[in-house]
């Protein structure tokens, strides 16, 4: 379970990046966090991972306060960063091996790695190729594999489908659904309204550091999610041509 209680981040120049975020993501739930660039999505993830300290409130992973017990909390979370680059001179398996061990999974065999990589849809011949030869989609998949193989109860993803072709994006999201069915809590920051409709259990919209709206699946299936989103962005609604 992921919890944010009045989570606030104000920078030294008085810029309010996150304003009293209250959020709870239960087991087996996929939560999409939408918002414009700079709205505070990445800041939220950074606060959960204790990369920055909150100026108010707290963030809890499986009930553990990330500021008070950072190392303990990290046992229970997996992370897929935006723009996965990894170690270019290592193969996919070598990268996987390193991060798996770092995450505490020390007894995995080569076959285990291959199996996981197949699950995410990587081609066999890519397993032992150096990462610098991979396309963006393939790299994102390796990043996802790393998160899955850790088998932590919570998964944080930052713009995982950015720059992916529809097929690759669909594959990635399918994997997330599988994880959700295993009872994992998933927080995904994205711009991708389209896919939100497909797999999200709940959708939240952030604007200028505040979570201005949360809708459940039933609720936004009825309304036009795009319209709601655009309204809150106070943009022009794109007329249907």
Partner 1 sequence: MKKYKNQVMILRIASKELFHNISTPRFITGFVLCLLLIPFSIVISINEYRSKVSVYQTEQKRADEENLAKVYSAYRPVIVKNPTPLSIFARGVSYNLGNRVKILFSDIPMMSEGKAESRDNPFLNRFFTFDFVSMLIIIISLMAFLFTYDICTGERETGTLKMMLANPVSRALVLSGKMLGTFFTLIPMLLFSFGLCILVLLFYPDIHFTSSEWVRIVIIFLLSMVFLVLFMVIGLFVSSRVRHSGTSIVICLVLWIMFLFIVPNLANYSAKSFVKTGSVENLNFDILEIEKEFNTKVGEYDKKLPQTDWGMANTRFNTDGPSAIAGASKSSFEKERLMNIFSEPLRVDYADRKWSFRKAYITKIERQQKIARYLSFLSPSEIFKESVNGLCATNAESHYNFLDQIRNYREELIRYYEVEKLFNSYLYFTQQDPKSFMTGDEIVNTLTNGEIKTVADLYAKNDPWIFNYFKKPIPNGDMDVWKPMDLSKLPKFDYRPANVLDDIRHSLLHIGVLITLLLVLFYFSYRSFIRYDVR
Stretch that binds partner 1, among 25-33, 119-127, 142-150, 184-192 (CB under 8 A): 142-150
In the block, tokens 């989570």 appear at 7
Stretch that binds partner 1, among 9-17, 89-97, 169-177, 192-200 (CB under 8 A): 89-97
CA-CA distance, 151 to 141, in Å (whole number)? 16
CA-CA distance, 113 to 104, in Å (whole number)? 14
Gyration radius of the chain's alpha carbons: 18
CA distances from 70 to 31, 49, 51, 67, 212 (A): 23, 8, 10, 6, 28
Q: How many residues of this chain bind partner 1 (CB under 8 A)? A: 33
Pick between residue 51 and residue 194 the one whose CB is nearest to partner 1.
51
Q: Which two tokens stand for residue 72?
A: 């303990």
72 binds partner 1 (CB under 8 A): yes
Which one of 15, 26, 67, 87 is in contact with partner 1 (CB under 8 A)?
A: 87
Provide, rounded to whole angstroms, the least separation between the CB of residue 79 and partner 1: 4
64 binds partner 1 (CB under 8 A): no
Pick between residue 21 and residue 157 the one whose CB is nearest to partner 1.
157
114 binds partner 1 (CB under 8 A): no
Q: Residue 148 is inside which H or E element, if any?
A: helix 136-150
Determine the 3-state secondary structure of 89 from DSSP: coil
In the block, tokens 């072709």 appear at 165
Which one of 5, 46, 136, 191 is in contact with partner 1 (CB under 8 A)?
A: 46
Provide, rounded to whole angstroms, the least separation between the CB of residue 24 and partner 1: 21
Strand order in the sheet with 56-61: 16-25, 2-10, 56-61, 64-65
60 binds partner 1 (CB under 8 A): no
List of residues contacting partner 1 (CB under 8 A): 42, 46, 49, 51-52, 71-72, 74-75, 77-79, 81-90, 94, 98-99, 101-104, 143, 146, 150, 156
């Amino acid at each position: 379970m992921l919890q944010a209680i009045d989570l606030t981040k104000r920078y030294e120049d008085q810029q309010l990046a996150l304003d009293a975020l209250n959020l709870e993501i239960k087991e087996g739930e996929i939560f999409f966090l939408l918002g414009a660039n700079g709205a505070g999505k990445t800041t939220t993830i950074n606060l959960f991972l204790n990369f920055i300290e909150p100026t108010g409130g707290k963030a809890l992973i499986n009930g553990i306060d990330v500021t008070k017990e950072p190392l303990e909390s990290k046992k229970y979370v997996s992370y897929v960063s935006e723009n996965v680059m990894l170690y270019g001179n290592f193969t996919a398996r070598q990268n996987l091996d390193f991060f798996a061990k770092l995450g505490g999974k020390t007894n995995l065999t080569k076959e285990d790695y291959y199996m996981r990589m197949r699950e995410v849809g990587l081609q066999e011949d890519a397993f032992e190729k150096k990462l610098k030869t991979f396309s963006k989609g393939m790299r994102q998949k390796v990043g996802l594999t790393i998160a899955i193989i850790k088998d932590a109860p919570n998964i944080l993803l930052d713009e995982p489908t950015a720059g992916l072709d529809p097929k690759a994006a669909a594959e990635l999201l399918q994997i997330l659904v599988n994880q959700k069915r295993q009872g994992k809590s998933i927080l995904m920051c994205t711009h991708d309204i389209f896919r939100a409709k497909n797999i999200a259990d709940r959708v939240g919209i952030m604007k200028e550091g505040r979570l201005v709206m949360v809708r459940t699946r039933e609720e936004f299936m009825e309304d036009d999610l795009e319209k709601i989103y655009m309204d809150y962005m106070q943009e022009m609604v794109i007329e249907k041509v």
